[in-house]
Every structure is written in C-alpha cells, then in structure tokens.
Structure 1
Amino acid sequence: MKTSRGYHCSIAKPFEMWAKLPVTSLTPFTFQDFPEHTACILWFAGCNMACAYCHNPDLVTGAFKRLPSDSIERFLTSRQGLLEGVVLSGGECTLSSALPWLCRKLKAKGFKVKIDTNGSRPERLEELLNEGLVDFIALDFKAPPSKYMPITGLKNWALFERSLRMVVKAGIGREIRTTVHTDLLDEGDINEMTSLLEELSYRGNFVVQGFVHGPTLGNLPPQGRNFNKALLIERPFPFVFRNMAKQ
C-alpha cells in the first residue's frame, strides 16, 4: 500500500511482522524524549550489549512480556493528529528485522519517528535513512575503541564506527550521547571520543549523562568521584550535561 505521503506499508502479514517486534511496554506521552515534539515511546525488549551501568536490566534480558499488537495499534490510531512522533527505544530496537516495516507503518499514520540506538546494526540504520523512515536518531557512543569491548561486551568497534559516521552525515535531527560512570570512563576518554567527532565534522549536541546510582545490569556501586567538566577540551559542537553533579 502506498499512502499519500509516499510511504509503503505492507499489510499482507501484519501478525507475522508484529511477532518480530518485541515491544514490551508503551509510554503514552513525553515531551522530553523527542526534541521539540510531543511523542509516545514504544519500548523494545532485548539488547546485544551488556553495559554494567544499564538501568533497564529487565529490558536487556527480555524478562517482560510483549505488549499485544492490537493494543498498540489501537493506541497509535487514537493518537493520530494528537501526537507528533513515536520514539522507538529499549533495549535495542534495531535488532528487529521488522523495524523498517514498523517505521513505514508509523510514517503512513503521519507520525515522525525517532530511534534510540547503540549503533551496532549499521545496515539497519542505512536502510532506515535511505528510505527516509526516521526523523531523529539518538546514538549512544559507549566508549572509545580501547574500552568499547570491556564496557559493551561487543568486540566489533568497526560496526559502531560505521553507524557513527552515518549518523554524523545524516541530514536529520540527531544527538550523540555518552553515559559516564567515573570508574569506567574518565575525562580523557571523553576527550578522545569528542576528538573523533570533531574529525568527522559533527555539529550536533554531545550529551554527557551522569550515572545515577540504582539497580543496574552490572550492580555497579556509586561512582568513586565526580566527573570534572573543567577537564573537557572545547569542541565546535555543544556539550549538554544531564544528571551531572555540580563541580
């Protein structure tokens, strides 16, 4: 089916497609997660990373039950013309082969689409970008190359770097963000990461998210020290700090 907006949305086997989408819960309204847009959030279970500071261990392990597809469909239909966008978060939404199908469906309903991703599936990002199926990408830059595997549990830095380069060049809204627990990442690591972003001519926000103590995938203790923002090297793009202790 081709809509007036030009997006193709196959409806031949919707139940099979929904079965490939491990959506486990829904946040009906947010004005903080999709910059400048009202939105809802679909939360995906499952992740291919094992970051110790992750505050969503149940999402990572897929412990939650899936939300019935008919309830998601009803909700989205009821919000057409009321909400501007849908955020696909998790977990890691790009692990699902049906993600492009879902994005086409959302676009056909008139929603803007934002995805939160760890960048481990560049081929899926490329498909979404090439088809114009995503309007905003929030990319988690977990660590510099030397610490990428110890922090994420994944060895293939090259896949993330491909995603990073793709997002930097994308002509859509984007932000790159890093979560800092000072026992894992220090100011020198952040300077190394932002140096790479500068080399790639990145000009969006670089978000530094401070670790908030609580239950995590790796049961991390509180940070041994505060992060010192004064040690960061100035770059030609803005730093945005969230949940950071005052220095």
Structure 2
Amino acid sequence: MIISGMVKSSLVDYPGLVSTVLFTPGCNYNCFYCHNRQLIESGSDGISQDAIEDFLTKRSGLLDAVVITGGEPTLHSDLIPYLASIKRHGYKIKLDSNGSSPQVIRAVLESRLCDYFAIDYKAPTTRYVEFCGKDAKAGAVLDTITTLIEANANFEVRTTVVPQLGEDDLVQMAKELPIVPRYVLNRYRPPELYLPRDRERIAAPPYSQAQIETFAATLRKWQPNATS
C-alpha cells in the first residue's frame, strides 16, 4: 500500500496510546477545510515500504499503536493485507475514515485486525455535498456508523466544528446519529492549503474552545458521550 506521509510519534491520534501515524494518498471527498489537501489526489510516490517496515521493527516495544489515516484509507484495495502486515509487529491499529465505504469497514471488522475506528461525520445530511463535494453521501456514513455499533466495535465519531456549522446544525447532526460510544467535537483550524474559491469560507473566524465545549454540553441531550 502506498504511504505518502508519516508522523513517527504522536500522543494525540490514538486515545491513551503512543502511536505512529501513516498517511495514505487519495480521497473521494473534497472538504473545503481539509488539512491534508496534498493527499487528495492519488499518487504513486511515497515512503518506501522497507523504510516503514524497518521503523516499525525497531520501535516494537516503544510504540503502542499505528494509526492509518489519509486521504481515505478505505479506497485502497490492499488495506486489509497491509493491516495484517502491521499487526504482525504486535501493534494496536486505529483506522481513520470518512465512513464513505461501509462495505470496506465490514471487511475490516471481519478481519479482526483493527482495534479502534474514528469516523468523521462532517455536516447535517442535507449539507453533506456542500461541505464535502459532489461525491459525498451522508447515508453511507450513517450506514458505516450503524455497522460499527452492531459489531460492538471500539470507535468514535468526530466532527470538526467549522464556522459554517451553527448550533442548529450540530443539534441536527446529533439527532441524525445513533447514540455512539464517543462523539468528539474538534475545533476548526484554518488550513494552509485551500482552493481559491474557498478563500472566504476558510477566513471565517473559528469558534473558541469554550464555545466548542458549550456545544458539546448541549449535544449531550441526544449524544450522552459528546465531548470536546
């Protein structure tokens, strides 16, 4: 599998564990606030697999986990074999996904190779295309989340609270979701790379952390495990 980027050590990407983060190229969404825009287009260049394998071998016992993120990892047909190659080192694995491919998530669940999932829920269903591009389908994301619940999987749902989402939007999203084990509201940070057409949206002032915490408290009426 192509790996386009790597963070060797992270304390924030896998809850409670020290992890290495591997970034896959290519994405079927085009979110205006994406922080990994350089990964949206799929490419052939990347970090050599030998280098990654050598790193994971040497760090065994020092790192707890490997996080696979992107881009969108579920677009890669060799995802499950790649997870198996990581698992042989004894690491826990977390998979980040936009949730657009419930059938791939089902296959990953059946493989029993992934220990934790993080699924992005980006907007109310009626605004998904506005936020994520013409190929975005909120129904598929909700299907993915339902699949994880039915499998009793360890997972969280995440929403980046961009300025274009108001409290009414967030309440609607909390109602649309089934009750999830952990619903994380993340503060928006303007990306360095963006499309010229999105300049005004990117420049909108972000909510404060205090405002995000207030939103999380409000959403607990529908999502008891909402946090920020």
- What's the TM-score bracket when you normalise by the shorter of the two chains? 0.7 to 0.9
Residue of structure 2 in register with 1:178 after alignment: 159
Which residue matches 1:196?
176
1:234 aligned residue: 220
For 2:113, the equivalent position in structure 1 comes to 133
For 2:158, the aligned partner's letter is R
Q: Distance in 1 between matches of 2:83 and 2:219?
A: 38
Q: Pairwise CA RMSD of aligned residues?
A: 2.0
Match of residue 203, structure 2, among 210, 219, 222: 222
Per the alignment, do residues 71 and 211 of structure 1 end up closer, same or farther by CA in structure 2, a change over 3 Å counting?
same
Question: Radius of gyration: which is bigger?
Answer: 1
Distance 1:224 1:108 in 2: 45
Matched, 1:208 2:189: no
**Alignment: residue pair count:** 217
TM-score with structure 2 length normalisation? 0.86
Is the Cα contact below 8 Å between 2:99 and 2:140 reproduced in 1?
Answer: yes
Quick check: 1:51–1:217 contact (8 Å CA) kept in 2? Answer: no
Gapped regions of structure 2 (runs ≥ 5): none
**3-state SS of 1:80 partner:** coil
Distance between the aligned counterparts of 2:44 and 2:127, measured in 1?
Answer: 30
Q: Which deviates further from its counterpart, 89-98 or 165-174?
A: 165-174
Alignment match, 2:149: 168
- Percent identity over the alignment? 29
- The TM-score, its normalising length taken from structure 1, stands at 0.80
C-alpha separation in 1, matches of 2:69 and 2:82 = 13
How far is the alpha carbon of 1:206 from its aligned partner? 1.2
Alpha-carbon offset, residue 143 of structure 1 = 1.2
| 1:82 alignment partner, one of 59, 62, 78 | 62
Whether 1:158 aligns to 2:147 is no
